[in-house]
Structure 1
């Protein structure tokens, strides 16, 4: 007797292997069910056709609006965060089909999006030798060749820098100078700046700007006015916000407003 998608997804954490090379998710799991850190022996594409997904790992934060998806390789600890109205169409994939060994944010083009949506309607035990199997082959091929995006924030490893990044993540409008963080640590700005670069690969200024832009995505998807989003993310100039946003995403903030 075939198993339903809902039944299998409810048992997902207990599985050791997938029933097919690809498993689709047609229904959004409750937010509390995916928030807790966990890992599994297959790869996962966290993707939403509406809303913004955040994936947190010990090494970074990865953010995906509907034009992107987050690829999580097997056995990497992660937690998935999203708002209540996010519509998820995630994929669970046998590791041998994908080339990446670390988490990546991938660009989901129009064709790949439609393939994911179509596959999410397939039964768990889809016909691997028929039309369903051929669509799966195309989907996996398109996914493996998807372009990598920079919608991620590398996370430091030392407690002082972790505290600094947590503060900035919680306060994307923070405009405090580097001394605001270095003085309580009794170190110079230069020392803190070097440590930041060593642990994240980015300067303090670069990290803070990307944090602001990633924080803007869920606000835009919620329908907040662009001017208000810019202010909430530390920009006192709307033109500067739009320019920085377009430089990172290749699109304008207006293209991410909820329709």
Structure 2
């Protein structure tokens, strides 16, 4: 199915996404295609990685990738995905940048219903009208999720990759800055200029993202906090709530279970 999709030069319909004809799976290597993509997490958490940022879509949310954008999609074990592919000009309001959309109850049901349609659905009949409503609802969907902006400087990229791989790294700002031969203030200023976040803000967001697969696996909140570099459980809960709007325990009960 992946090979058949890659061989397409254009979509057979403006909206394409049959559950039975598309690979509803994450493609973890960088790739691009001439149509937009919506990856919806029915259960589990998706992460879309682009050259300018990483976008996290917990359950009940979806990642939108514009046509032509180089990206990779990764997910935690047990994630259930519904993928839609959308003609580049079908949703002009979403065409310019990658983002995460909130999937409300109506949009979720529309996606589910559409995924059951035949690949060559009748565009002029009821199925085509369903597709048109789905596209209309996507155009007004609320933006949500977490974005981890990615720097362009190769030195900062290397540091960011290290912090992603080792969220329990407790080295402080000054220690990391010393490896660059600059002050902590300068390093933080570099982060702010390239990501819009200072060093501490970026690492806090990175750590919360790293905690999600641990929580989804049912690990204790305390253990997830320690694994992601927090000595204080209360500090971890506060950071998690700040980023996702719910405490980690609620995420496990609601989000991690599929919402």
- Shift, 1:225, TM fit: 2.0
Equivalent pairs counted in the alignment come to: 251
SS in 2 for 1:45: strand
Residues 1:149 and 2:144 are matched in the alignment:
yes
Shift of 1:180: 1.9
Aligned to 2:135: 140
Tell whether the 8 Å contact from 2:24 to 2:82 is kept in structure 1 after alignment. no
Consecutive unaligned residues of structure 2, counting only runs of 5 or more, are: none
* Contact 1:97-1:144 at 8 Å conserved across structures: no
Q: Does 1:81 align with 2:74?
A: yes
Aligned ranges for residues 196-207 of structure 1 at < 5 Å? Answer: 196-207=191-202
1:85-124 alignment, distance < 5 Å? 85-98=78-91, 99-100=93-94, 101-124=96-119
Q: Does 1:178 align with 2:160?
A: no
CA distance, structure 2, for counterparts of residue 108 and residue 185 of structure 1: 42
Normalised by the size of structure 2, how large is the TM-score? 0.90
SS in 2 for 1:194: helix
Deviation at 1:41, TM superposition (A): 0.5
**Which stretches in structure 1 are left out of the alignment for 5+ residues?**
1-5
Distance in 2, matches of 1:238 and 1:138, equals 45
CA-to-partner distance for each residue in 1:186-239, whole Å, 9 max, x for gaps? 111122111111111111011011111111222222222222222222222333
Looking at structure 2, the residues matched to 12 and 47 of structure 1 have their Cα atoms a distance apart, in angstroms, of 18
Q: Distance in 2 between matches of 1:185 and 1:179?
A: 10
Alpha carbons of structure 1 residues 165 and 93: separation in structure 2 relative to 1, 3 Å: same
Residue matched to 1:230 = 225
The equivalent residue for 1:14 is: 7
TM-score by length of 1: 0.90
Paired position in structure 2 for 1:246: 241
Question: 11-20 or 243-252, which moves further after superposition?
Answer: 243-252
The runs of at least 4 consecutive aligned structure 1 residues that moved more than 6 Å come to none
Match of 1:212 among 201, 207, 213: 207
C-alpha contact 1:227 1:238 (8 A) present in aligned 2: yes
After superposition, give the CA deviation of every residue in 1:154-188 in whole Å (9 maximum; x if it has no partner).
Answer: 10011111111111111122221112211121111
Question: CA contact under 8 A between 2:24 and 2:81: conserved in structure 1?
Answer: no
Q: Is 2:20 aligned against 1:41?
A: no
